């Protein structure tokens, strides 16, 4: 049986981790996978997470199974974080999932079950694993234009032109904030236009919210998602706690399915069944940490403070890189790097230039020239800027 297996294509992002580790050069710089690093290159455990872990360790009395869809307290805390108080609880079905990727996978499984003929529209470009999961599930997929290579911003005219072809029942995958891989994001008026477009077409948005708090702040980063939730009858949201709580390996995420209150029970039961047939119970430890933090005002304030420091640090690095490139290039052609938000920016380099950065400078980024801003620090910003000019970008 196993002899029938064919080699699977490697994930372009995860592949870089191995290549970077195998590189013996001192001074190599990892700007690949989306993991936050501080100025010393560490991915620290956040203070509030440490404290929540200590409390849990002292108070937890059992490791027996939790709810099949996770704990209601986690659902409520996350729904509050993402949606504020603008959505009636009766409209929200929820399931804890293994990370944000688990939520995307469950959301797409739900789409396949509920709307077998639906096409899922994804931005061009999008996170490569969106495409891998869609292909794996055999879901018909269409791309809508998104990124304007000339300006480094969103090509909104092209995006809306493509989305005009969306049919009733189709699903449109949107990045709630901090678009991965480009770093270019919709403004709130543009979110409103997208909401109108989808409402008119009768399409359902699926929002991937993996970086809330990494762009313009916790509230601002959720604003587009909240607008969709207020204006559309049905919205799917796949959220991750990996980045904003820094609990990558705890695999903590949530799928929210907003719909008609009268249908909530059936939707909730379906989410629980999807968990059951995939992995039974979702991971609980990270979800419990998040719930502890969000439900304790002191811990929550401390978490927000630390998250804000992380966010401000990334913005500083963006400014510093754009400034250094302005100095070296003698032009503002990299100014978009300071406008982008979140962990990533797409530099606009060719695969050959990306390869030259790796080969000649020990700088690792994804082949489409996406780089992780949070992989930089004050010392490596000028090194990257110099290398960008050297390879002729």
Question: Least distance (Å) from ligand LMR to the CB of residue 127?
Answer: 6
Q: What angle is formed at CA 386 by the lines to CA 384 and CA 388, rounded to 5 degrees?
A: 65
Q: What angle is formed at CA 159 by the lines to CA 229 and CA 191, rounded to 5 degrees?
A: 25
Tell me, yes or no, if 63 is annotated catalytic: no
List the catalytic residue out of 95, 243, 287, 356. Answer: 243
Question: Least distance (Å) from ligand LMR to the CB of residue 175?
Answer: 11
Letter string b/e over residues 196-208, b meaning 16 or more CB atoms within 10 A of that residue's CB: ebbeebebbbbbb
Binding mask 119-138 for ligand LMR (x = CB under 6 A): --------x-x---------
Q: Is the Cβ of residue 42 or residue 63 nearer to ligand LMR in the bound state?
A: 42
Helix (H, G, I), strand (E, B) or coil at 146: coil
Tell me, yes or no, if 243 is annotated catalytic: yes
What DSSP string runs through 330-363?
Answer: SSSTTTHHHH--SSEEE----HHHHHHHHHHH-E
Helix (H, G, I), strand (E, B) or coil at 199: helix
Beta-bridge partners for 93: 257
Q: Is the Cβ of residue 180 or residue 369 nearer to ligand LMR in the bound state?
A: 180
Question: Least distance (Å) from ligand LMR to the CB of residue 283?
Answer: 16
Question: Least distance (Å) from ligand LMR to the CB of residue 174?
Answer: 16
Q: Say which residues have a Cβ less than 8 Å from residue 255's Cβ, sequence separation at least 6.
A: 94, 95, 97, 102, 103, 106, 107, 110, 236, 237, 238, 239, 271
Q: For the chain, first and last CA: distance in Å?
A: 48
List the catalytic residue out of 203, 210, 239, 287. Answer: 210
Q: Is the Cβ of residue 101 or residue 275 nearer to ligand LMR in the bound state?
A: 101
Question: Least distance (Å) from ligand LMR to the CB of residue 207?
Answer: 15
Figure out which of the listed residues 123, 180, 212, 252 binds ligand LMR, where binding follows CB under 6 A: 180
Q: Is the Cβ of residue 63 or residue 249 nearer to ligand LMR in the bound state?
A: 249
Q: What angle is formed at CA 128 by the lines to CA 123 and CA 131, rounded to 5 degrees?
A: 70
Cα gap 139→335, rounded to integer Å: 38
The pairing of beta strand 120-124 with beta strand 141-145: parallel
Q: Is the Cβ of residue 13 or residue 122 nearer to ligand LMR in the bound state?
A: 13
Binding mask 133-172 for ligand LMR (x = CB under 6 A): ----------------------------------------
Size of the site for ligand LMR (CB under 6 A): 6
Tell me, yes or no, if 316 is annotated catalytic: no
Question: Least distance (Å) from ligand LMR to the CB of residue 29?
Answer: 16
Q: Is the Cβ of residue 214 or residue 303 nearer to ligand LMR in the bound state?
A: 214
* Structure tokens belonging to residue 338: 């300071």
Cα gap 236→172, rounded to integer Å: 10
The residue whose Cβ lies closest to ligand LMR is 34
- State which of positions 32-61 bind ligand LMR (CB under 6 A): 33-34
Binding mask 7-36 for ligand LMR (x = CB under 6 A): ------x-------------------xx--
| Residue numbers annotated as active site | 127, 208, 210, 243
Interacting residues toward ligand LMR by CB under 6 A? 13, 33-34, 127, 129, 180
């Amino acid at each position: 049986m196993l002899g029938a297996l064919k080699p699977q294509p490697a994930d372009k992002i995860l592949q870089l981790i191995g290549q970077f580790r195998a590189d013996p050069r001192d001074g190599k710089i990892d700007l690949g996978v989306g993991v936050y690093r501080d100025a010393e290159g560490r991915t620290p455990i956040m203070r509030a997470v440490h404290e929540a872990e200590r409390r849990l360790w002292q108070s937890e009395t059992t490791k027996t199974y939790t709810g099949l869809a996770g704990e209601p307290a986690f659902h409520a805390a996350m729904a509050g974080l993402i949606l504020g108080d603008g959505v009636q609880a009766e409209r929200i079905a929820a399931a804890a999932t293994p990370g944000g990727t688990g939520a995307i996978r469950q959301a797409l499984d739900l789409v396949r079950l509920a709307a077998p003929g639906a096409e899922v529209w994804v931005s061009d470009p999008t996170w490569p694993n969106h495409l891998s999961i869609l292909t794996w599930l055999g879901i018909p997929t269409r791309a809508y234009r998104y990124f304007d290579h000339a300006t480094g911003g969103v090509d909104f005219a092209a995006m809306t032109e493509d989305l005009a072809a969306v049919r009733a029942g189709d699903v449109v995958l949107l990045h709630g904030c901090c678009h991965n891989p480009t770093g270019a994001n919709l403004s709130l008026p543009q979110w409103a236009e997208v909401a109108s477009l989808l409402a008119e077409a009768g399409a359902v948005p699926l929002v991937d919210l993996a970086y809330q708090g990494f762009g313009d702040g916790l509230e601002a980063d959720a604003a587009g998602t909240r607008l969709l939730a207020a204006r559309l009858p049905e919205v799917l949201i796949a959220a991750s706690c990996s980045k904003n709580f820094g609990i990558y390996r705890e695999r903590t995420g949530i799928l929210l399915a907003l719909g008609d209150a009268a249908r909530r029970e059936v939707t909730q039961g379906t989410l629980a069944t999807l968990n059951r047939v995939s992995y039974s119970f979702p991971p609980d430890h990270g979800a419990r940490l998040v719930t502890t933090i969000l439900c304790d005002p002191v811990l929550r304030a401390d978490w927000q403070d630390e998250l804000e420091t992380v966010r401000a640090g990334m913005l500083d690095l963006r400014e510093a890189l754009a400034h250094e490139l302005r100095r070296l290039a003698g032009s503002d052609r990299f100014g978009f790097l300071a406008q982008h938000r979140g962990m990533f920016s797409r530099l606009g380099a060719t695969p050959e230039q990306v390869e030259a950065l790796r080969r000649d400078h020990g700088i690792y980024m994804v082949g489409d020239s996406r780089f992780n801003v949070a992989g930089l620090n004050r010392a490596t910003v000028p090194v990257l800027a110099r290398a960008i000019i050297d390879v002729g970008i």
